[in-house]
Amino acid sequence: MTLRLILRRPDDMHLHLRDGAMLQGVLPESARHFARALVMPNLVPPVVTAAQATAYLARIMAALPEGAAFRPLMTLYLTEDTDPDDVAAAAASGLVTAVKLYPAGATTNSHGGVRDMARVSAVLDRMAEIDLPLCLHGEVTTPEVDIFDREAVFLDTVLDPLRRSHPALRIVMEHITTSQAVAWVRAQGPQVAATITTHHLILNRNHLLVGGIRPHYYCLPVAKREEHRAALVAAATSGEACFFLGTDSAPHVDALKENACGCAGCFTAPNTMALLAHVFENQGRLDRLEAFTSLQGANYYRLAPNEARITLVRHDTPLAQPDQIFTEAGPVTVFNPGFPVHWQVEP
C-alpha cells in the first residue's frame, strides 16, 4: 500500500549555493523542494558587507528557474574588521537573516574567518541589541586538537565563554556532530539552537574509512562514532524546538573531491527529503518530520511557516537514486546513503 505524507514546504537553514556556473547548476535542486534557505557567505571573496550580500542575492535570483518559489535568506561572513553599523543596517533593511562565524581555517573558504573572539565583541554586542542571530561553525582549529575532538573542545573553550560574555545573543550551532553538542544545546534555553544535517544522521566515521576512503562522505565537521550519530538521530526526531534542519549541502565538482587532498562537503540537496523520511520512519517518528524540516527553524528565525505543501510518497520497491548532476563547472556527485530508499517527493 502506498503511503503519502503531506508536509509544509521545508526550509533549509544551512545551504551552500556557491557562485557562477556552480550556483546555476545546484540552485534548482534546492528550489525544487525547499521554500527558503539560509545561504552561506563563504565565497571567494566572502560576503562580508551589505553591498556584497545585495550583489550575491541578485545573482541568486537571476539563476532561479522560471516560476520557482524560493526565497534566499542572506548571511554575512564575520571578520575581525566587520563594521557593526553595516551589519545593523543590513538587518534593519531585511537584507540579512544572520551573521556567520567561521573560525579561521575550519572549513571551505574560511581562511578569512575569526582568530581572536575579542576582536568581534563589538559586532556581537550590536547583534544582541538588534536580535540578529549568530550562526557558527563550532570547531577549534588548533593543530594539537584531534580532528574528532574539535567540536567538543570548541564547546568548552569558545562557546561557553561566548555565552557568558554575550548572554542575550541568539546563537545557532550549525551542523552539530556529537552527543556533547546535543546536550549543550539542550541546556541553554531558547536563545540557542542547532542545525543537524541529513548526512550526519546517516554517517558515522566507519562509513568514511572502513574498506577504503570514500571522498564523497568526507565533510567538516567530520562524521563521528556511531554513538554520536545515534544522539543526533534522537535529537532530530525528538520534536524539541532547539533542533532543526540545516543540510549543509555543499557541492564540489568531482575532480576536487576525488584527489589526494579532496574538498570537504556532501551534496544532499537533491535527495534530502527522501532520506529524512527514511530516517524518521525508522524511528517511528514520521509525525515529527514536518516540525524538524518546516516549523522549528522558521520559528527560531521568527518567520511564518510556509503555506505551500509538498507530498512525500513511500513506494514498496526501492527507487533509483541520482548519481550526479552536471553543471557547467563540472559533474557533482549526489550523496549516496548506502541503503535502499523507498521515499520520494511527488513531482
* Catalytic positions: 248
C-beta separation of 166 from 125 below 8 A: yes
How many whole angstroms separate alpha carbon 8 and alpha carbon 291?
Answer: 9
Spatial distance between the Cα atoms of 231 and 259, rounded to a whole number of angstroms: 32
The closest of 11, 14, 336 to 175, measured between CA atoms, is: 14
Maximum separation of any 2 CA atoms in the chain, in Å: 59
Identify the bridge partners of residue 96 per DSSP, sorted by sequence position.
Answer: 74
Q: In whole angstroms, give the CA distance from residue 161 to residue 154.
A: 10
Distance from C-alpha of 265 to C-alpha of 15, rounded to nearest angstrom: 11
Q: What residues contact residue 334 under an 8 Å CB cut-off, 6+ apart?
A: 267, 268, 270, 271, 321, 322, 323, 324, 325
Residue 240 · residue 265 · CB < 8 Å: no
Residue 4 grid cell: 503519502
Tell me phi and psi for residue 206, to 5 degrees. -65, -40
Q: CA-CA distance, 193 to 242, in Å (whole number)?
A: 4
